[in-house]
């Protein structure tokens, strides 16, 4: 099955994106340090969030295609928590966090945004992303409604603007493992949402 690239905007709309052709890439190994430098250069010259994501998605695909070690670089999910996070890179005063995340089958995340842009590339397993949009009024300012669902399979990449809201469910019979990269988090605008009580809390 052909891999997909998607962009989820602040309104919960999922947009199909074109995948860059492999012929644009050098045959030389693409190392993590080069990836980080390329991302920093993109951030410095590209203030618009959606344009930034458009430039970074192909580099994520190139890194995962070129760096076989990343396919197995994760922690087994904690049986009590149902998930695990392995931080691959997190430097003070550097606006990037890179990690692999593993979910046990059937685990469901809270409904949340990230307070920054993010890109998730699925390595193995399968995940269902439920996308939400803000629909609050004076009585329920934190109300959200579901917009659509997207199933991620290995090779798929989904990117999110800072206020894109989603929840994730691991739907395969094996752990779902993803490679995740995030920009600098604005914690005052990072929330978990409860669709039943119309509440939102910082986390």
pLDDT of residue 27: 66
pLDDT tens digits along 78-135: 999 999 999 998 888 888 999 999 999 999 999 999 999 999 999 999 999 999 999 9
| Nearest-angstrom CA–CA distance, 171 and 34 | 34
Q: Are residues 128 and 103 in contact, defined by beta-carbon separation less than 8 angstroms?
A: no
Ranges of residues in the chain with a pLDDT under 70 are: 1, 21-27
Beta-bridged to residue 200, according to DSSP, are 193
Listed residue (121, 118, 80) closest to 101, CA to CA: 121
Cα angle, residue 190 at apex, residues 184 and 195 outer, rounded to 5°? 150
User: Helix (H, G, I), strand (E, B), or coil: what is residue 71?
Assistant: helix
Predicted confidence at residue 1, as pLDDT, reads 61
Q: What pLDDT score does 34 carry?
A: 93
In the chain, how many domains are there? 1
Chain position carrying tokens 């993109």: 42
CATH code, 174: 2.60.120.10
* Sheet with 127-134: strands ordered across: 144-152, 127-134, 165-170, 111-112, 191-194, 199-202
| Per-residue buried b or exposed e for 170-188, using 16+ beta carbons within 10 Å of the residue's own CB | bbbeebbbbbbbbbebeee
The SS3 assignment for 102 reads strand
Q: What are phi and psi of 186, to 5 degrees?
A: -95, 95
The parent domain of residue 155 ranges over 5-202
Burial of 124 (0-12, 13-18, 19+ CB in 10 A): middle
């Amino acid at each position: 099955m052909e891999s997909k690239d998607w962009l989820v905007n602040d309104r919960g709309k999922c947009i199909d994106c074109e995948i860059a052709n492999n012929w644009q890439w050098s045959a030389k190994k693409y190392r993590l340090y080069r990836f980080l430098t390329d991302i920093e250069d993109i951030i410095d010259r590209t203030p618009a969030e959606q344009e930034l994501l458009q430039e970074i998605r192909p580099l994520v695909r190139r890194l995962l295609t070129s760096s076989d070690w990343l396919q197995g670089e994760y922690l087994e999910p904690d049986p009590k928590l149902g998930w695990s996070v392995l931080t691959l890179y997190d430097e003070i005063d550097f606006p990037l966090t890179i990690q692999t995340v593993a979910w046990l089958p059937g685990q469901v995340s809270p409904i949340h945004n990230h307070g920054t842009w993010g890109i998730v590339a699925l390595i193995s397993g399968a995940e269902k992303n439920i996308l939400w949009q803000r629909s609050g009024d004076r009585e329920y300012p934190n109300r959200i409604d579901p917009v659509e669902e997207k199933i991620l399979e290995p090779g798929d990449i989904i990117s999110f603007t800072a206020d894109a809201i989603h929840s994730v469910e691991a739907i395969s019979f094996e752990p779902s493992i993803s490679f995740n990269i995030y920009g600098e988090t604005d914690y005052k605008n990072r929330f978990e949402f409860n669709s039943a009580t119309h509440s939102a809390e910082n986390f």
